[in-house]
Amino acid sequence: MSTKSLISGCLLSWAVILGARSAWAQPEPTPQADAKCPGGKIGSLTSEKVAEGAAKQTLETATTKAIAQKPTTAAAPPAFADRVNATIADFLPLFQFAVNEVASNADKTSVTAKFNPIPVGIYGNLSLNATATQPQVFKALEEKIVEPAREAQRKTLLGKVDDFSDLTLALSYGLQRRAGTWDNTRKMFGRNYELYRNLASGLLEQALQGAFADIDQRTDRISRARSKLFTEFKTVFEEAAVRDGLAQPDDPEKLGPQGARLDSICLATVESVNPEAYKQLVDVLRKEALLSADVTAAVQKAITDNKLDALPAMIDNQPQIVLQGSYRASDDVIGPDTAAITASYEMGTRNFNSMLREYHQMKREGIKEPSYLDAYERGVTDRAYQYEDKVIFSASFRRNQSYNFSYNYKESVSSPGSTTPVEIDRTAALNLPRSDDWRASLSWTRLWPRRTEKPETLLAAGLPQLPAMTGRQDPRSTFTIEWVDADESIKLAGTNTPLENDRFVARLSLVVPVQGGMTLPLTIVYSDKPEFLGDQDRVFGAHVGISYKIGDKGAAAGK
Amino acid sequence: MPCSRHLIGKPGQTFQFRITDAQNVFAGVGRLRITGPTTGHSQDFPFAELQAGFDLQLEAAMSYTLRIIVQPQDPAETLEITAQTSAGVDTCSRNDAGEIAVWTIDVL
């Protein structure tokens, strides 16, 4: 369809416009040459090195466990998303400057390219997405094909289209504004952490105030020891820098400008120049490395004690207003082109705004400088955030363009008088005028968190984190009511029955994830017009099933 | 990997810190700790201020420890920051709460 080339042209222009905005150079990290120093360098003795032995063991155990849990399956055929990704991979580098992300949906039936957002002043961004969906034959057209030939013709029709025959371009805007300070911010919209950075930093800063009492004293002691060491043995380190080839003997600054070469000196060289300096240096470095691990443990404890680990959920529950306009350009085999406008509002019951409300309430109560942490504590006390309750309202208008398509095919039938099948010429024709429909839906979801494991010990907290291997996920319930005001002027051929009708549908579902990517869904559906529910065939029905997804990355990561 | 670096400066010298590219950070606070035999105090800067950059003028007979402490937004994602000091560029990363970088500066 010509609209497809129009969309491709638009995407190209958008990409070129955005390219200029996002190009910026990344400084290259300083390369490290460890091969020359088998015993390590001054700069290489970090908390990770101290914890390396234990970490290695943990990693080995976790890896063994993961391999044992991995199901052995035959290789799956390449999914639609993989195929599309492979196709666009060659071209992607050309548009890397404009394309922010290319992602597939969970069942790999669509691929979405997200373009770099365009800022709209202080009130958020305009974002453009292009989605290629796996082609499916238009159901109304399929029904025009006689039943015995339907399956074969469906395959033939799908053979006529390519992976980019069902494209949707969506332009969306979400209202948001960057937070100021706790005192001048009252209500926020949007879920981008950047908006809340100032407020969250204030919270963390207060949380860490008390966490460093002991750390500060130890830092003092180590700093003094280090200063003494470098003053006393400066010539030793300079001699070591020369022996390691980092400086010339006549170099006035043998340790480099601002001592930048110091970390590159091999520990073994220091030992060979002056064993006593080496002994004291290793002692200081070990103490620093251990202190570093303890700082990490203290930070994690402060975060847990102040329940700051709930902050992501609080921001995720923030209200969000989104307006979206989309256009779906598809091949005739797939269906009519469609334009839609959707407005949605969603929010969680406990969110960052509830903390801001508490903060301002405390000021009204006469507290002169309320603590952010106290306001936060009040906001999360009822633990309702744990359920991640979310209410989503959306209203949309959709216009389906007129559709006229005719398709000639042959049906093979067996004849009693012949041993070979007889082929009969047939035509599937479908003509639909332009139609409009309105939809509104209200849904409520709740996550039912399972009891979490005991918090990690401080020793384990200091080690590098490993991905969770069990893939634990929480059950989620969803209640949705949907109302559709369909265009009833379009009748099924030869009848007075409308193709679509106004309807009301209510669904209550509970999805219980089971170990290893399996889910147990339970759904109850009610509709006032069951004949338009598609697969449902009763006014009131229930559905229980087990679904198993192979290669569920999300489950493996334990998110 | 987290950064850990020792530097040496002279009294009166200024060290410049520029911290960029804090992607996926959930919440962060930078902590500039100034220690020494004459004074012993510490000061905290919000992460946003650290990103704007700051200068540290060295005083005699002091040791400086600069710690950058963060909590990434998503533990599955690695937080990466690049800190450019007048002594060079360091890229540091972490995927759990804690120190992302430590710079120690001795005034000799």
CATH number (domain holding residue A535): 2.20.200
- Tell me which residue of A448, A447, A454, A444 sits closest to A480, measured CA to CA: A444
CA distance B99 to chain A (A): 6
Record the tokens describing residue A102, joined without a space: 């290319």
Q: Which amino acid is at A62?
A: A
What range does the domain containing B16 cover? 3-107
In which band, very low, low, confident or very high, does the pLDDT at A120 lie, cut at 50, 70 and 90? confident
CA distance B4 to chain A (A): 7
3-state secondary structure A435-491: EEEEEEEEEEEEECCCCCCCCCCHHHHCCCCCCCCCCCCCCEEEEEEEEEECCCCCE
Does residue A223 belong to the interface with chain B, where contact is any CB pair within 8 Å? yes
What range does the domain containing A502 cover? 465-559
Residue B13's CB is within 10 A of a number of other CB atoms, namely 16
Q: Tokens 């491709």 belong to which residue?
A: A8
Which one of A42, A197, A285 makes the best mutation probe of the B interface by having the most chain B beta carbons within 10 Å? A197
Closest Cβ–Cβ partner in B40, B48, B88 for A201: B48
What pLDDT score was predicted for residue A116?
84
In which band, very low, low, confident or very high, does the pLDDT at A67 lie, cut at 50, 70 and 90? very low
Q: Across residues A75-97, what is the average pLDDT?
A: 63
Q: Which of A61-65, A125-129, A244-248, A523-527 has the lowest mean pLDDT?
A: A61-65
List, edge to edge, every strand of the sheet that includes B54-57: B54-57, B14-23, B79-85, B88-94
What pLDDT score was predicted for residue A483?
92
Average pLDDT, chain A: 76
Q: Which of A171-175, A531-535, B20-24, B39-43 has the lowest mean pLDDT?
A: A531-535
For B66, the 3-state DSSP assignment is strand
- Tell me which residue of A145, A168, A164 sits closest to A405, measured CA to CA: A145
Q: Across residues A261-280, what is the average pLDDT?
A: 92
Residues 6+ apart with CB under 8 A from A111: A80, A81, A84, A85, A88, A102, A103, A104, A131, A132
Residue A552 has pLDDT above 60, yes or no: no
Residue A248 counted as domain residue: no
What pLDDT score was predicted for residue A329?
95
CA distance A46 to chain B (A): 7
Residue A74 has pLDDT above 60, yes or no: no
Q: Which amino acid is at A462?
A: G
Residue A505 counted as domain residue: yes
Residue in chain B closest to A41 (alpha carbons) equals B5
Residue A34 counted as domain residue: no
Residue A30 has pLDDT above 80, yes or no: no
Q: Which of A19-33, A189-203, A381-395, B65-79 has the lowest mean pLDDT?
A: A19-33
Residues 6+ apart with CB under 8 A from A413: A148, A421, A422, A423, A424
Record the tokens describing residue A355, joined without a space: 């903390």
CA distance A551 to chain B (A): 17
Instruction: State the total domains in chain B.
Output: 1
For B26, the 3-state DSSP assignment is strand
Q: Across residues A164-193, what is the average pLDDT?
A: 89
Residue A25 counted as domain residue: no
Instruction: State the total domains in chain A.
Output: 1
Choose between B97 and A558: higher pLDDT: B97
Share of chain A above pLDDT 70, in %: 71
Q: Across residues A488-507, what is the average pLDDT?
A: 72
Q: Do A227 and B106 touch (CB under 8 A)?
A: yes
Could you give the CA distance from residue A199 to residue A189 in angstroms, rounded to a whole number?
A: 14
Residue A8 has pLDDT above 70, yes or no: no
Does residue A205 belong to the interface with chain B, where contact is any CB pair within 8 Å? yes
ipTM: 0.84
Residue A122 counted as domain residue: no
Q: Which of A293-297, A384-388, A513-517 has the lowest mean pLDDT?
A: A384-388
Closest Cβ–Cβ partner in A43, A219, A461 for B33: A219
List the pLDDT tens digit at each of the 108 positions of chain B.
467 888 888 888 888 888 775 554 554 566 677 765 545 567 777 766 777 778 888 887 778 888 888 776 666 667 777 777 777 788 887 777 788 888 888 888
CATH number (domain holding residue B72): 2.60.40
Q: Which of A434-443, A483-492, A537-546 has the lowest mean pLDDT?
A: A537-546
Q: Across residues A137-166, what is the average pLDDT?
A: 90
Most confident by average pLDDT, A2-6, A360-364, A493-497, B27-31: A360-364
Where does residue A552 rank: exposed (0-12), middle (13-18), buried (19+ CB within 10 A)? middle
Between CA B9 and CA B13, with CA B10 as vertex, the angle to 5 degrees is: 85
Residue A476 counted as domain residue: yes
Which one of A22, A299, A306, A372 makes the best mutation probe of the B interface by having the most chain B beta carbons within 10 Å? A299
Q: Which of A218-222, A332-336, A378-382, B80-84 has the lowest mean pLDDT?
A: A378-382
